[in-house]
Chain A
Amino acid sequence: DTEVTQTPKHLVMGMTNKKSLKCEQHMGHRAMYWYKQKAKKPPELMFVYSYEKLSINESVPSRFSPECPNSSLLNLHLHALQPEDSALYLCASSQARGRQGGETQYFGPGTRLLVL
């Protein structure tokens, strides 16, 4: 399996709802990422997990809560979101070679989130 999968494909939620986005990969990658992509904009990094530990948080509001339960799964828990949080949320994975860098990231198809 050489793909990153994301569920659900689409999500509509109210500002008081709690929902979760799920990402899965079976490529043996030990680095996983969450990005937010607004229409006609580049992806913006939110979080990086390396060996199931949160290693980068790009000052994301606490209404977004990431979780990495094992090396294949990455979740993003959503609570009390705002309409401006509506976007495409992308998950990616890569080999985790730390300071060597230059690793290819493999992206999922994304979850399109609409907050009403």
Chain B
Amino acid sequence: AQRVTQPEKLLSVFKGAPVELKCNYSYSGSPELFWYVQYSRQRLQLLLRHISRESIKGFTADLNKGETSFHLKKPFAQEEDSAMYYCALSLIQGGSEKLVFGKGTKLTVNP
């Protein structure tokens, strides 16, 4: 079965510290993976997608097919990074695309 696992429900770090949000997936095909972020009182928005291989707001994520992981990393966390982070897997069903979300990790960056 296709699923996304985010093992940490809560993650707390200090400003300037490195941060890594873990994401593992289970999928038999070639995965399309995303990180979405939901800041307080804001809409859910895309942070990264693995096919674009870009760095957004200092975050990067590398797809590791051997470990079936897509961990999100940032070398120096900022207070404004505090938010809910969802890892998501794209699936094709009935000719359309759907997202399967992990349960999310709430990141708190302390001053």
Contacts and interface: CB of A to CB of B under 8 A. Distances in A.
A109 B101 CA distance: 18
B49 A42 contact: no
Interface of A: 31, 33, 41-45, 48, 50, 55-56, 90, 94, 96-99, 101-110
5 contacts: A43-B44, A55-B96, A56-B94, A102-B51, A107-B43
Contact of A43 (B34, B93, B97, B101): B101
Nearest to B93: A56
A56 B34 CA distance: 20
A107 B86 CA distance: 14
A108 B43 contact: yes
Contacts of B103: 41-42
A44 B98 CA distance: 10
Name which of B46, B94, B103 has the most chain A CB atoms within 10 A of its CB: B94
Given A42-B86, A102-B32, A107 B94 contact: no
Contact of A98 (B44, B86, B92): B92
Q: Which 4 A-B pairs have the closest CB atoms?
A: A42-B101, A55-B96, A102-B32, A107-B44
Given A42-B101, A102-B51, A102-B90, A50 B96 contact: yes
Contacts of B98: 33, 45, 48, 56
Contacts of A108: 43
A99 B43 contact: no
Interface in B38-87: 43-46, 49, 51, 86
Contacts of A104: 34, 46, 49
